[in-house]
Amino acid sequence: MRRGECSFFFYRVTVVRVCSCADFGTWVLWTNTKERLMSLHVVDHPLIAHKMGVLRRKKLPTKDFNDLVAEITALLLYEATRDLPTEACRITCWSGRTTVRRIKGRMLTFVPILRAGMGMLEGAKRLVPGAKISVVGLWRDHETLDPHEYYVKLASDMSDRLAIILDPMLATGGSALATFDLLERSGCRDIRGIFLVAAPEGIARLQAAHPGMKIFVAAVDKRLTGKGDPYPPGYILPGLGDAGDRLFGTK
């Protein structure tokens, strides 16, 4: 393997920037100009690293967990929207007419995956309060870990909008994959995902199904739970536990 490259499952990626994710290993932001590979952005920032460290604490109160999720989501969204096109427009400011920049095209839409994705919506709307809200409801079979759709409500004119999926955990990748497929069927051409924590298994599954997509995460953890682990299957280790329960104070 040549210097500057690393293997991720069965995909070759070119390292653009190495990112340290708290104390849970070193992962990378990658692209590849020869192949249409998924762009994984591990947002390496001291504020995110610190807040993720607090978020992982087992006995963190529900309010604090919600506040931190909102703050981290806003920081990730800042990176996820870095390349939005802008256009010039004329306004009147205190000293007269001047030219400023504004985001070009239709307003983007956030797509929280119920129910845990709703916990990220507050942080996202702080940055883009005018965004349209699309909602996808999925429940996961605890035996097969497969997602099942029970509710969908999308914004109009999806083909003209950037859609940003919100979900705290990218575990098996099943829910994210189902949502990407649904958005593609609606005509959406620019789909991105924001996740707080991702597992290597989920990243590989999305890569196989949707090469070229962009996802933004605060951390890539070690693996998913499975046989022999003292936890339910399909959870991220070390992870956050059940993010939905922690967001809504349920068990």
Catalytic site residues? 140, 144, 242, 245
Angle, CA 70 vertex, CA 243 and CA 234 arms, to 5°: 20
At residue 201, the 3 state secondary structure works out as helix
| CA 139 to mean position of chain CA atoms | 18
Q: Over the Cα atoms of the chain, what is R_g?
A: 19
Tokens of 47: 């504020």
By DSSP bridging, strand 190-198 and strand 132-133 are unpaired
DSSP 8-state symbol, 108 = P
From residue 183, how far is each of 38, 180, 195 by CA, in Å? 17, 5, 17
CB 116 within 8 A of CB 168: yes
At residue 147, the 3 state secondary structure works out as strand
